[in-house]
Structure 1
Amino acid sequence: MINSKLKTPLLALSLSAALVACGQGPQQQDASTESTKEKGMQQMQKPVVYQVFTRLFGNTNTTNEPWGTLEQNGVGKFADFSDAALEGIKELGVTHIWYTGVLHHAMVTDYSDFGLPSDDPDVVKGRAGSPYAIKDYYNVNPDLASKPADRLREFEELIERTHKHGMKVIIDIVPNHVARDYHSISKPQGITDFGANDDTSVAYKRDNNFYYVAGEDFIVPQDANYQVLGGQSHPLADGKFAESPAKWTGNGARKAQPDINDWYETVKINYGVKPDGSYDFPRLPDNYAELDYRAHYAFWQEQELPDSWYKFRDITQYWLEKGVDGFRYDMAEMVPVEFWSFLNSSIKMSNPDAFLLAEVYNPELYRPYIHLGKMDYLYDKVGFYDSLKAIIQGKAEASELLATHQEVVDIEQHMLHFLENHDEQRLASPDFAGDMRWGKPAMTVSTLIGRSPSMLYFGQTVGEDGSEEPGFGDPTRTSIFDYIGVPAHQQWMNGGKFDGGALNDEQRALRQFYIDLMALNSLPAIVAGELIPVPNSAPHAVISFERRLGEQRIVVVANFGKHPVFVDIEPEEAMVGKTLLGTDPLYLEKKIPIKLPYQGVSVFQMGVQVDEY
């Protein structure tokens, strides 16, 4: 019932646009009607998120010394997102840029001249630091500024440039934890730091911001196989960090000395969840799953809530006022759903169009976090991404993906699809696919199978394989902890021209494929059409389906086999097709024979007249 309510307005708009797109509308329209049509078609485009690790994007240094300093390995800046760079991103059909690692987090680099001394490397991962160990929510990473004293202004200018190029800005919010040495020097008047008013004599109190190991001092974790900064000397690298009493670690570890595999660089935020797991705040009535954000907002105005709730409300409102258009929430499932109802309804009251994306991996929480927590989008990782990866690696049959997609069919428009992000192995890495060309069938199906938004990770479209040995980070994933250059991406950067001039022919062809594919996100049948499985003669290797809205029919066929395949597909009606992407279909009988190369795809529109073909 909830799903039908959500999709009805979009489908009505989509059907109208589909009739125009399929030639059903009037032959001539006045300027006003044309303007309305253009606006409607802009609204029709499915969201495409471009995740960029901000620190690495503009770095032209190719040294890549393990555990290298900023001076050795270089670092990208806000200013590197020039007009040319942003146009290159926009060319991929991007609607939102997720600038990862913007907020000021713990790092080893010393900015004492600006009142920002080095953090203790004993509680920092990597030399550049984790973007998810935030130490000041009211300012940005000084690494990213050409002039560190002007870092906030430089980010505000980047927001303006991004908007000028027709894209919106997303940044991370990490409500589950903060850096172990959180301290804001930029907080507005009237704002207090996390933990400033805590009663540290007890493990838990509702309005404490942290949990405590009362009476015990923090002890730095030890491991014989790990050396801080790779064994390089540093005046603070002494195996000690002063914290008394010790706080619970970000992943919930409750010992004064966490394990080396715990999130020891962070401390967990208290939202009024008692140590026994019971809640110290009001619960939402079940019927609120069917109510909009305004009703949720009104509900919370009458409640007395834990202090941490208000702190994060103030943080998000601060960034909305700076022009940020949305947030990606790290490990959202580790924070109670009631808090998300409170926070997201507050955000939507300020900006109803804010883009709210959450990292949630427990399928049992998907629907509560969407309907009660008022999330716009969740990662479709455990279902869709994991299934797609298994198919690419030959561990599952292609036909299984449609069944996986059906498991979230009632919420599929809320489930963001991706092949890469900062947590996952690069597609071209040997441990994943080992070949960047697998992006063709994988991203085609990921993008076109449903109404879900898509996400691209920087470097993905030119075959970045994550093979560099940066220090703390592991190969196969582009490091988020170290100062490095990103080789394939640097070829597209071409020394700051952002014109792809240093790409090879294969990389150029792959990027063009992504451009052509993401352009299909404006087709009404792809934005809002019905998914219809299409039988084929090789279901173990080939996925085929149709997206239909009104008279527009888009058929997608993708080969996940290890060899070329000649496959018959059986759409409901025999019609002529016009190729939109990939291999040309042959002429149609009731069965359509298509020859798909290795990693090949065919996307075509049914119902085109023969003289148009």
Structure 2
Amino acid sequence: MKILIYQVLVRLYGNINPNPVQNGNIEENGCGKFNYFTDSCLQKIRNEGFNYIWYTGVIEHATQTDYSKYGIKNSHPTIVKGKAGSPYAIRDYYDVSPDLAENVYRRMEEFETLVQRTHRADLRVIIDFVPNHVARQYFSDAKIKEYPDFGKYDALAYSFHPHNNFYYLLDQPFGPQFSLYDDQGNFYGEFPAKVTGNDCFSSTPSCNDWYDTIKLNYGIDYLNGRTKHFDTVPSTWHKMLSVLLFWARKGIDGFRCDMVEMIPVEFWAWVIPKIKKDFPHIIFIAEIYNPGNYNDYLCQGHFDYLYDKVGMYDVLRGIITEGKPTKNITNAWQALGGIQTNMLNFLENHDEQRIASDFFAGDARKGRPASVVAATLNTNPFMIYFGQELGEKGMDSEGFSRIDGRTTIFDYWSLSVFRRKPSEEQERLRRYYTKVLQLCNKNKAINNGKFFDLMYVNNHLTRQYAYLRCNQDELLLIVVNFDGEKVETDVFIPSHAMDYFGIVGTIYGSKELLTNEIRSLDLQRDKPYHVCIKGYDAEIISFSLI
């Protein structure tokens, strides 16, 4: 099965407030809920071709919303980013965000029921695992006897100690480059200052640092040559194993692991096999950005899939926005050295700018050929961020998030493409994505076939990219057009490709799968095949081998 992921920020999904206000609170702007994912909603997502859904922002994180009447401690507003807060500033690893519940007292039950509904719709569940940092005011309501709260028994006389959960800046108060007094004059104090989440070993982090978080200690002494202290398994490792097991027992099918390179690979090598021993179906996806570390986190760290951000994403974006040659796609997959099947492809997620934004392509249609490549190039997973299928622009100034081409993760808000009935252009875009996803689901040549790059014999293609996918029953010729104008061109099919797939002689008859048009042209070795492709489009031409 080819993994096809729909990423949704639960806080925003289903919230159709027509008039959200900048920097509005939850009462003014509303908030998505677990229960908005009804049986019919989830079935629609499944029918569009997805088989996994990544619920982003599930675990309880710091927020400026007051839930004290429910027994939940408030976070000081000066150390929370935005009214809603970052989903990556975890306040309690053993709870879900109260924002997402209709009945706050029964919030975990609502989440557990969501997992059940999701599985009924034949979708698998992914949530975030955020291991590198926690909110500055972490406090868990769960009473895990053997694993008390992070930092509760830290030795504060040490800046680093192997069994501490945090790092400390001795004799220094926390004093970021902004005021720590809220509107009522209440002061947030922290002494000694804890190290900020983005490895900022300063008591005065800036607004650009992850000042709302504190870094966790996995046994590496950063200020003394990054020496490793793993002889006795660090306390943080055991606590994180407990967290992962807690969610695995809730029926989770996968973890998207945040900023894995900031955690020693030895931890992943220790923890993932322990989880998979009891839950072998669970997949681990690594947010990772350094290709030099890919093999370590796959082989030693036991991850199933890695972000392909600095490779395929950056290459496809460069072709769309800078007119870079399509041969760079060949360079991107070749640079992976045989691990292409372990890479997660995407064009949008919560960190990246929207394709349709002024900061990216300015036109959602320009993402169509790139999405075909990302989805069909190999057997590896492909992901779409909610709203991408309707051309969401991400050009709102929501509050803490300004106009930057991204959809806010810090504010209560609603997406413009979900506030009103989709236009015909938006529906066409959605149908296009659905067709591609359904092909990825049903077509065996795409979801488990071999791949052959045709660019080395088609040097005339600079704004188009051509390749073959094949299994024992079917050969696919896939040609995408990154140009806005229709193009007619020949694609040369070398004998070597036919030999590689074990195909003998001419292949008769063909069908274009995106339009279901019957083609009369046959495919012959060492002969050109003529294609006519619309602007920002693709052709997926099927040849039967039976």
**Band the TM-score falls in, shorter-chain normalisation:** over 0.9
* Paired residue secondary structure (1:546): strand
Distance 1:206 1:64 in 2: 47
1:308 to 236, 257, 267: 236
* TM-score (norm: length of structure 1): 0.83
1:204 aligns with 2:123: no
1:243, CA displacement in angstroms? Answer: 1.0
Does the 8 Å CA contact 2:398/2:411 hold for their aligned counterparts? yes
1:98 aligns with 2:32: no
Structure 1 unaligned blocks of 5 or more = 1-44, 283-302, 492-501
- Compute the RMSD of aligned alpha carbons: 1.9
Distance 1:221 1:431 in 2: 29
Structure 2 unaligned blocks of 5 or more = 499-505
1:409, CA displacement in angstroms? Answer: 4.3
1:125 aligns with 2:81: yes
2:200 to 253, 261, 264: 253
* TM-score (norm: length of structure 2): 0.93
Does the 8 Å CA contact 2:475/2:545 hold for their aligned counterparts? no
* Paired residue secondary structure (1:473): coil
Distance 1:518 1:331 in 2: 28
1:583, CA displacement in angstroms? Answer: 8.6
1:70 aligns with 2:18: no
1:484 aligns with 2:413: yes
* Paired residue secondary structure (1:197): coil
1:558 to 467, 473, 480: 480
Distance 2:263 2:88 in 1: 15
User: What does residue 509 of structure 1 align with?
Assistant: 428
* Paired residue secondary structure (1:352): coil
Aligned ranges 1:12-91 → 2 under 5 Å: 45-91=1-47
* Paired residue secondary structure (1:364): helix
Superposed structure 1 runs of 4+ greater than 4 Å apart: 582-586
Identify the range of structure 1 (269-278 vs 259-268) with the bigger mean alpha-carbon deviation: 269-278
User: What does residue 406 of structure 1 align with?
Assistant: 334
1:68, CA displacement in angstroms? Answer: 0.7
Distance 2:142 2:234 in 1: 23
Identify the range of structure 1 (515-524 vs 343-352) with the bigger mean alpha-carbon deviation: 515-524
1:554 is aligned with what amino acid?
L
Distance 1:180 1:101 in 2: 17
1:118 is aligned with what amino acid?
N
User: What does residue 450 of structure 2 align with?
Assistant: 530
2:424 is aligned with what amino acid?
D
2:531 to 584, 587, 594: 594
User: What does residue 163 of structure 1 align with?
Assistant: 119
Does the 8 Å CA contact 1:564/1:598 hold for their aligned counterparts? yes
Distance 1:324 1:516 in 2: 28
Q: List per-residue Cα deviations over 1:340-379 (Å, max 9, x = no partner).
A: 1111111111211101111000000001000000000010
* Paired residue secondary structure (1:162): helix
User: What does residue 513 of structure 2 align with?
Assistant: 580
Identify the range of structure 1 (516-525 vs 176-185) with the bigger mean alpha-carbon deviation: 516-525
User: What does residue 235 of structure 1 align with?
Assistant: 184
2:419 is aligned with what amino acid?
Q
Distance 2:63 2:520 in 1: 58
1:595, CA displacement in angstroms? Answer: 1.3
1:533 is aligned with what amino acid?
D
* Paired residue secondary structure (2:284): strand
Distance 2:300 2:271 in 1: 12
Distance 1:55 1:169 in 2: 16
Does the 8 Å CA contact 1:64/1:468 hold for their aligned counterparts? no
Does the 8 Å CA contact 1:55/1:76 hold for their aligned counterparts? yes
Identify the range of structure 1 (566-575 vs 376-385) with the bigger mean alpha-carbon deviation: 566-575
User: What does residue 503 of structure 2 align with?
Assistant: none
Distance 1:319 1:417 in 2: 25
1:98 is aligned with what amino acid?
W
- Structure in which a larger fraction of residues adopt helix: 1
Percent identity of equivalent pairs: 39
1:84, CA displacement in angstroms? Answer: 1.6
